């Protein structure tokens, strides 16, 4: 088998094959060029034709339609995440009032600390320390005072005769919960 002669492949029937001449190398090159031209012409005939412009536009339109549908589905699925949470206005009002009670209690502690240190109530909140914004101070003649704050139409008043813990109540737990 090692010395068996090689079988020459037979060319396809539709390709014109010119016999080889051994006269010169130029003739061999010319023959090869002619064969390649025949093959190229056949490839061009068998090559798929490019799509007409209308078909290309239809493909682009189909891709655009798929993208629009995907965007719409994504929007519908994520719609509830895009919406702000529903806020209960009464719950938020409770939180604002609880926060206001805590601010009044903090200011009352500053006034009480000043009174213990100096033996008398301060003339103004600024004398007692940094006053909190929106809190009014009324000094009473009987060594008592009132702190007043407002939230909309609601007015909260802390009187120094009250215990601070009772005034604050459950304000810490109300403020720590989210307003929903």
Q: Which of 90, 88, 71 is nearest to 79 (CA)?
A: 71
- Please tell me which residue, 138 or 93, carries the higher pLDDT value: 138
pLDDT in tens, 38-75: 888 888 788 777 766 666 778 888 899 999 999 888 88
The Cβ of residue 81 has, within 10 Å, a number of other Cβ atoms equal to 6
* Alpha helices per DSSP H over 5-52: 25-46
Q: Is the pLDDT of residue 147 over 80?
A: yes
The model's confidence at residue 8, banded by pLDDT at 50, 70 and 90, is: low
Q: What pLDDT does residue 12 have? A: 58
Q: What pLDDT does residue 146 have? A: 93
What pTM was computed for the model? 0.50
Q: Is the pLDDT of residue 130 over 90?
A: no
What's the token pair of residue 134? 């929106």
What's the token pair of residue 17? 């094959």
Q: Which of 128, 130, 133 is nearest to 113 (CA)?
A: 128
């Amino acid at each position: 088998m090692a010395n068996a002669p090689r079988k020459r492949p037979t060319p396809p029937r539709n390709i014109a094959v010119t016999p080889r001449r051994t006269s010169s190398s130029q003739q061999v090159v010319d023959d090869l060029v002619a064969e390649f031209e025949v093959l190229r012409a056949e490839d061009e005939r068998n090559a798929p034709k490019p799509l007409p412009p209308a078909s290309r536009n239809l493909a682009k339109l189909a891709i655009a339609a798929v993208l629009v549908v995907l965007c719409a589905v994504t929007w519908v699925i994520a719609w509830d995440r895009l919406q702000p949470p529903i806020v209960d206005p009464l719950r938020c009002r409770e939180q604002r009032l609880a926060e206001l009670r805590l601010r009044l209690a903090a200011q009352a502690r500053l006034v009480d600390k000043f009174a213990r240190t100096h033996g008398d109530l301060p003339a103004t909140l600024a004398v007692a320390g940094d006053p909190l914004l929106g809190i009014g101070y009324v000094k009473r003649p009987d060594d008592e005072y009132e702190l007043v704050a407002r939230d909309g139409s609601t007015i909260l008043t802390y009187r120094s005769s009250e215990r601070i813990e009772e005034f604050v109540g459950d304000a810490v737990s109300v403020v720590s919960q989210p307003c929903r």
